[in-house]
Chain A
Amino acid sequence: MMNQGVSTETIPPVDSGSLENHHVVDASQGQTSSYFPPTAGSDAISWTIHRADHNSTQNGTLPSSTSTYQYDYHTQPPTRNVQEGLNAASLPSSSSSLGTANVSQDYNGYASYPNSTDPYGYGSTGYPGYYNSYQQQQQQQQQSNQPSYQQQQFNHSSYQQQQPNHSSYQQQQPNHSSYQQQQPNHSSYQQQQSNHSYSQTVGAYQNTGAPYQPLSSFQNTGSYAGPASYSSTYYNPGDYQTAGGYPSSSYSNQNTLWNDANYTNYTTHQYSNYTPDTTAYSSGTTTAPSLHYQQQYKQWADYYSQTEVSCAPGTENMSVANTSNVGCPIPGVSGEYPASNTQTPPSYTPPSWRPESSSSELASVQPAAGISGANDGYWQHVAPSSQILHTSPMQPQSQKSLDPKTSYDIFQDQQQTAYSQVPNVQYPANNQVPQSYQSPVQTVPSLDTRRVSKLQIPTNPRIASNLTFGFPKTDKDSSTISAAAKPAYISVNVSPMPDEKVLSNSAADSILKPGMFPRSLRGYVERALARCKDDTEMTACQAVLKEMLTKATADGTLYTRDWDTEPLFPLPNADAVNKDSFQSSTPGSSLPKYKRSPSRRSKSRWEPLPEEKSVDKSASVVNNTVKYGGWTNPSERDRKLFMGNNESKENNFTAMKFSPLAQKNASKNIQRQVKKQRFADGLNAADNGDASSDSDKEQNLTAYYSSAIALANTPEERKRRESRSKRFEKGQGRPENNHFKPKNAGPGNLYSRRASALVLSKNFEDGGTRAVEDIDWDSLTVKGTCQEIEKRYLRLTSAPDPASVRPEEVLEKALDMVQNSQKNYLYKCDQLKSIRQDLTVQHIRNQLTVKVYETHARLALEVGDLPEYNQCQSQLKTLYAEGIEGCHMEFSAYNLLCVILHSNNYRELLSSMSRLSVEAKKDEAVKHALAVRGAVTSGNYVMFFRLPLC
């Protein structure tokens, strides 16, 4: 503390310089992120940033906080001391104190702001370190931090040096731009609210720092590309969180290392943070452990959405998961959460989402209590971390819980924006998504949340339709925490959607981190869980599943294995699993306080579930799967979206259910991380180990975090898991299809088909390393029996079910229907794709097929849907080659024009020209196309524009 004080005094000049530097950098970079709305958004942003700081403080108290964050603490000299003291206190005990501490921080930071530019320097140093040298991060950062404390100048120098790196970084990633923007915001903020400004700067830095980390992870992801790696990243965040939870333990150890009494608090924080980061880095996954991460993730999410990297959502989710863990005892769930976040957004897709929120909410935010305002901003998407702020003053723990949700929302928003371009309208998923979305809101226990929800309703009119039913309840129930939790669940039940069932099932699936898992695997999980009669069995089952999955992930067969044909494992002994999970669940439930007992909340949510499940089982496991696939079809994103829905739901009500799985995952991840750490740093390794054990104790005491993590680390748990996995291995060979067959028999024979596929692929004995694609689909050619004319397109994830495939006569009608339909292209495209699928599945290749493709190609041309047109064109080419009649000439002409227009490819033009027959050249349309070509290649523009428009 003393040191900090000293540092603050000396810091100011240096900081100013650093600030300037930053500004310069920003200016030069000049990249503006589409992220934040510029003017109106600035206030909101500042708020959010501020919140971010709060979060960071909270994080600091919580083990999960990131290194950058802690840096900020250090840097903020005057207020910091107080804050830190608070933080330190809060760390061991509970987060409740944190809230107050945070508040104080903000103000202090604010007061000192002009001088206190230090945070910048710190932040910058922190993150250059990240970027520059991940491997050495721990040591370097720690070292740099300490020196910086003692000698600000030193920091400054290092800081400046690092700045170039920073700039390069920015260039590399557009996300950084958000950081830049924030600074301007910051300035405005100062004018408006001096208090916040200080924190803002820090927040901005943190944010930037966060994106960086994701970057590193991102790069890694790029390398991994494979889903397995992805999953690892996904898990890691969970681990990270756990690490975060433990910081107190690591604390002491670290302190010993650092020795300096003054520094102890800080150092320990940093240290703990660092280690997780490093581990994460070494693993190549994003370790985004803390609330910071959420913000960062948001940015990342944007980044990702922009880049459309599939991996991004996972990472984001991770962060979210972390936050959720903090709030709730359901650490495992967190992993799932992230997926939900990323996935859910697309469905919403109101494009104007952000701007609206920013404008309306901003106004309300400032006048309103800081907390509520923050929430609003958060909801608006402008301020991602604002919620945290709210919570912090009010109820620290509740904040935590909120945070994950808020983060979800943010994610969703961002993603929405990203996805808005994608035609989501097509998909019915919208309804589901909103539900899931609501649930988080509802669950938010505090009054603030209520406000938020109210506020949100006006802001998000588009979503409102979905939200409305959820919200009223929230308002009612919001007064009581428990009630709040329930409503979320209820809302789900109440929801009139026919797809609800699907959701519930899907929720189960989502346990397994839907985002990155193959559909077949989801189906597998679904099947496995469908057997369970009650919760205990379910949890046991999940435990086994989790074992399987982690194993599969470890040996890389996760994506290659044919989960469709994988025999189900025997139902595990539920009791064993329960033992594992009981710690987590019991402490939470026993705790009277809502805030402290997320587990309890989860349970309350959970209780209604069984009913749903039973319904689901009987009704439509098969259908669910199909729908699933359908939802997922359009694209990976969509799938994610869908998954996201499921997950979000899970978050709300299935926490208990899935928590064991997730916890295990998390624990495993932690272990892995620890190992990696050891490799990376001898120093930290021991500490981490100790920390984990210590943290176990802490967890039991505080029940903050789900005990899962702690359990995972304990030797008994490890043994238990080993034994379980052994058991599982034995059982693996035994096909357990019987369990699910009878249940599913009613709706359709999909499973029997699957079974046949299984036989075909001969994966039965060897546990199936063959991919689904290897199955001989020809032998599964179906004769459709479905009589419905309208059918949504969904990409098949398994053998087609004749009951859902339309025979040729019906398809003909369907084509007529589409041709005469007045609906928009998205609808028609969807319908045509489903028709095409049915044709393909039934191996129908005749004039109808040609007609369907021609119709689709023309429609696609009309709206400029080039990818779809290309698909149709290539299909038509082969169909024509088979001698099936159609408008061959017309499409030859289209093809020529397309080649001229879209591919400046000499060879392609030649080949398509040489393919034209003599008759073709006499055709009017082809002649025209050739004339166009002639005009274009000879550059005779006069002729080109004189050509008739055909």
Chain B
Amino acid sequence: MEEAYRRITEYLNRFSDAVSSQDGASLSSLLSLSSNHPFLLSLADSLILFQDASRVFKQSERFSQYSEIITHLFRSLQNYRLGNLVDAYQAFEKSANAFIQEFRNWESASAWALEALYVLAYEIRVLAERADRELTSNGKAPEKLKAAGSFLMKVFGVLAGKGPKRVGALYVTCQLFKVYFKLGTVHLCRSVIRSIETARIFDFEEFPKRDKVTYMYYTGRLEVFNENFPSADHKLSYALMHCNPRREANIRMILKYLIPVKLSMGILPKDWLLEKYNLVEYRDVVQALKRGDLRLLRHALQEHEDRFLRSGVYLVLEKLELQVYQRLVKKIYIIQKQKDPTKAHQVKLEVIVKALKWLEMDMDVDEVECIMAILIYKNLVKGYFAHKSKVVVLSKQDPFPKLNGKPIES
């Protein structure tokens, strides 16, 4: 009991000291619930022992102004320790709310407490995710992450103004992205993005690098969703370039989207890259593109369908089919050229049908003609049809234009 009281008062003293000395680092360590810091764990135990913790800090004038923050924080800590994550989340959100109120007052001059706010934003997201897991396991509707999303939006509102705290806005934005992507409410990202990108007062480059990378990663993913490949390429490449090279998991995540984007623009990754970052699911796809092997592509897509669907690149990869066709026709053209260079540019549809049949793709002339028409239309093949004789007449100059980093015309 003595020990418990001592620990609680110690925490209170540390908290109050951190605020008064504007020590963001130590303050954030006091808030970081999920860090499982031994000090916090023992504090939680003490709190469980010492039921009436609020009495402690009500004794002292020093702590009374933070009572709102600390009461809820203690309750959250207690519940967290006991494994009641839903209750822990609820208490933590209240505490965080109170913290934001205080934060507004602190932040007039400098942004010393930003770090603590980061911790808060992170904690609330992680707690919410875990609380949701608890809720679903209890057969209830998960809703805490949504609540966390709206809370973070509030935090974003606090930071989005002018001044030094604006630096923190991107961090919160990234947390918001994580929440939204997890919730599947990606459309909500738009408003946040707009406020980040339209604020000309603040140069994007001034944000912390890690936030920039995260931001670019998520916005790049959004661009993949929107099938805006050049922009997605730009953003994901930015993320890749600036990502800490030691964070291989992060690089892998970026590559997971960057590779399909690059593929769709005709840029194939080296095999070692796929090996290094364990992205072997793309190997067959790349192989299919190289060989013009439609069967392999379809097979690869089918094999990893779930994964691709979940990550959202399925449709991107599916569209590679046209490039595979292009490659196939190109191979036929090369073979014809070896046989008879004068007639090489006339590719009979029958030949393509036969080639596909070898690939166990059962398509008839009509379908092939349709595909060829699309290829010509998308400028993957230069040439024209002789419909009566069922022949594709290829251009003699550059019949198979390369994409060279440009997306397929639509």
Residues of A within 8 A of B (CB): 906-907, 909-911, 913-914, 937-943
Complex interface: chain B residues within 8 A of A938 (CB): 318, 321-322
CB distance from B203 to the nearest CB of A (A): 31
Complex interface: chain A residues within 8 A of B366 (CB): 942
CB distance B314 to A941 under 8 Å?
no
CB distance B370 to A914 under 8 Å?
no
B186 proximal to A (CB < 8 A)? yes
B273-317 toward A: CB 8 Å interface, digit per residue (1/0)? 000000000000000000000000000000000100110101100
Tally chain B residues at the interface, Cβ within 8 Å: 22
CB distance A910 to B315 under 8 Å?
yes
Q: Report Cα–Cα, A696/B346, bound state, in Å.
A: 96
Among B226, B227, B310, the residue within 8 A (CB) of A914 is B310
The 9 nearest A-B residue pairs measured at CB: A914-B309, A942-B367, A942-B370, A942-B366, A907-B225, A939-B374, A910-B312, A913-B309, A914-B310
B56 proximal to A (CB < 8 A)? no
Q: Could you jot down 29 A-B contacts, CB within 8 Å?
A: A906-B225, A906-B226, A906-B315, A907-B225, A907-B312, A910-B225, A910-B314, A910-B315, A911-B184, A913-B309, A913-B314, A914-B306, A914-B309, A914-B310, A914-B314, A937-B318, A937-B319, A938-B318, A938-B322, A939-B370, A939-B374, A940-B367, A940-B370, A940-B371, A941-B370, A942-B364, A942-B369, A942-B370, A943-B370
Q: Report Cα–Cα, A906/B310, bound state, in Å.
A: 13
Q: Report Cα–Cα, A914/B226, bound state, in Å.
A: 17
B344-367 toward A: CB 8 Å interface, digit per residue (1/0)? 000000000000000000001011
Among B186, B309, B310, B367, the residue within 8 A (CB) of A943 is B367
Closest residue of chain A to B369 (Cβ to Cβ) is A942
CB distance B315 to A909 under 8 Å?
yes
Closest residue of chain B to A918 (Cβ to Cβ) is B306
Q: Could you say which of B184, B226, B367 has the most chain A C-beta atoms within 10 Å of its C-beta?
A: B367
Closest residue of chain B to A944 (Cβ to Cβ) is B370
Complex interface: chain A residues within 8 A of B315 (CB): 906, 909-910, 937
B89-111 toward A: CB 8 Å interface, digit per residue (1/0)? 00000000000000000000000
Q: Report Cα–Cα, A906/B225, bound state, in Å.
A: 6
- Supposing A914-B306, A938-B321 touch, asked if A907 and B314 sit within 8 A by C-beta, the answer is no
Complex interface: chain B residues within 8 A of A942 (CB): 364, 366-367, 369-370
Q: Report Cα–Cα, A152/B4, bound state, in Å.
A: 96
Complex interface: chain A residues within 8 A of B318 (CB): 937-938
Q: Report Cα–Cα, A792/B367, bound state, in Å.
A: 52
Complex interface: chain B residues within 8 A of A941 (CB): 370
CB distance A907 to B367 under 8 Å?
no
Complex interface: chain B residues within 8 A of A910 (CB): 225, 309, 312, 314-315
Closest residue of chain B to A911 (Cβ to Cβ) is B184
Complex interface: chain A residues within 8 A of B226 (CB): 906
Q: Report Cα–Cα, A911/B312, bound state, in Å.
A: 8
CB distance from A444 to the nearest CB of B (A): 56
Q: Report Cα–Cα, A943/B361, bound state, in Å.
A: 13
Q: Report Cα–Cα, A860/B186, bound state, in Å.
A: 30
Closest residue of chain B to A909 (Cβ to Cβ) is B315
Contacts A906-B226, A940-B371 known; 14 new A-B pairs at CB < 8 A: A906-B225, A910-B312, A910-B314, A911-B184, A913-B314, A914-B310, A914-B314, A937-B318, A940-B367, A941-B370, A942-B364, A942-B366, A942-B370, A943-B367
Q: Report Cα–Cα, A410/B186, bound state, in Å.
A: 48
Complex interface: chain A residues within 8 A of B314 (CB): 910, 913-914
Q: Report Cα–Cα, A913/B367, bound state, in Å.
A: 25
Q: Report Cα–Cα, A943/B363, bound state, in Å.
A: 9
CB distance B186 to A907 under 8 Å?
yes
From residue 133 to 165 of chain B, which have CB atoms closer than 8 A to chain A? Answer: none
Q: Report Cα–Cα, A909/B312, bound state, in Å.
A: 10
Q: Report Cα–Cα, A942/B184, bound state, in Å.
A: 35
CB distance from A540 to the nearest CB of B (A): 49
- Supposing A913-B309, A938-B318 touch, asked if A906 and B370 sit within 8 A by C-beta, the answer is no
Complex interface: chain B residues within 8 A of A939 (CB): 370, 374
Q: Report Cα–Cα, A913/B319, bound state, in Å.
A: 16
Q: Report Cα–Cα, A940/B361, bound state, in Å.
A: 14
CB distance from A942 to the nearest CB of B (A): 4
Complex interface: chain A residues within 8 A of B227 (CB): 906
CB distance from A234 to the nearest CB of B (A): 35
Complex interface: chain A residues within 8 A of B367 (CB): 940, 942-943
Q: Report Cα–Cα, A940/B325, bound state, in Å.
A: 13
Closest residue of chain B to A934 (Cβ to Cβ) is B318
Complex interface: chain A residues within 8 A of B309 (CB): 910, 913-914
Q: Report Cα–Cα, A906/B319, bound state, in Å.
A: 12
Q: Report Cα–Cα, A937/B320, bound state, in Å.
A: 11
Complex interface: chain A residues within 8 A of B225 (CB): 906-907, 910
Q: Report Cα–Cα, A910/B309, bound state, in Å.
A: 6
From residue 227 to 266 of chain B, which have CB atoms closer than 8 A to chain A? Answer: 227
Complex interface: chain B residues within 8 A of A909 (CB): 315
Q: Report Cα–Cα, A616/B323, bound state, in Å.
A: 76
Complex interface: chain B residues within 8 A of A937 (CB): 315, 318-319
Q: Report Cα–Cα, A906/B309, bound state, in Å.
A: 11
Closest residue of chain B to A905 (Cβ to Cβ) is B225
Closest residue of chain B to A912 (Cβ to Cβ) is B309
Q: Report Cα–Cα, A941/B314, bound state, in Å.
A: 21
Q: Report Cα–Cα, A837/B15, bound state, in Å.
A: 55
Closest residue of chain B to A914 (Cβ to Cβ) is B309
CB distance from A320 to the nearest CB of B (A): 43
Q: Report Cα–Cα, A937/B309, bound state, in Å.
A: 15
Complex interface: chain B residues within 8 A of A911 (CB): 184
Complex interface: chain A residues within 8 A of B184 (CB): 911
Complex interface: chain A residues within 8 A of B370 (CB): 939-943
Closest residue of chain B to A941 (Cβ to Cβ) is B370
Complex interface: chain B residues within 8 A of A940 (CB): 367, 370-371
Q: Report Cα–Cα, A909/B225, bound state, in Å.
A: 11
Complex interface: chain B residues within 8 A of A914 (CB): 306, 309-310, 314
Q: Report Cα–Cα, A910/B184, bound state, in Å.
A: 11
CB distance from A43 to the nearest CB of B (A): 54
Complex interface: chain A residues within 8 A of B322 (CB): 938
Closest residue of chain B to A921 (Cβ to Cβ) is B305
Q: Report Cα–Cα, A723/B306, bound state, in Å.
A: 73
Q: Report Cα–Cα, A217/B193, bound state, in Å.
A: 36
CB distance from B333 to the nearest CB of A (A): 22
Q: Report Cα–Cα, A943/B321, bound state, in Å.
A: 15
Q: Report Cα–Cα, A90/B198, bound state, in Å.
A: 63
CB distance from A937 to the nearest CB of B (A): 6
CB distance from A724 to the nearest CB of B (A): 45
Closest residue of chain A to B298 (Cβ to Cβ) is A934
CB distance from B184 to the nearest CB of A (A): 7
CB distance from B198 to the nearest CB of A (A): 23
Closest residue of chain A to B325 (Cβ to Cβ) is A938
CB distance from B11 to the nearest CB of A (A): 40
From residue 53 to 81 of chain B, which have CB atoms closer than 8 A to chain A? Answer: none
Complex interface: chain A residues within 8 A of B374 (CB): 939
CB distance from B319 to the nearest CB of A (A): 7
B322-347 toward A: CB 8 Å interface, digit per residue (1/0)? 10000000000000000000000000
Q: Report Cα–Cα, A937/B371, bound state, in Å.
A: 12
Q: Report Cα–Cα, A460/B258, bound state, in Å.
A: 68
Closest residue of chain A to B225 (Cβ to Cβ) is A907
Closest residue of chain A to B366 (Cβ to Cβ) is A942
CB distance from B2 to the nearest CB of A (A): 47
Closest residue of chain A to B184 (Cβ to Cβ) is A911
Complex interface: chain A residues within 8 A of B306 (CB): 914
B188-231 toward A: CB 8 Å interface, digit per residue (1/0)? 00000000000000000000000000000000000001110000
Q: Report Cα–Cα, A909/B370, bound state, in Å.
A: 24
CB distance from B317 to the nearest CB of A (A): 11
Closest residue of chain B to A938 (Cβ to Cβ) is B321
Q: Report Cα–Cα, A434/B23, bound state, in Å.
A: 78
Q: Report Cα–Cα, A910/B367, bound state, in Å.
A: 26
CB distance from A227 to the nearest CB of B (A): 27
Q: Report Cα–Cα, A568/B321, bound state, in Å.
A: 71
Q: Report Cα–Cα, A61/B318, bound state, in Å.
A: 75
CB distance from A881 to the nearest CB of B (A): 11
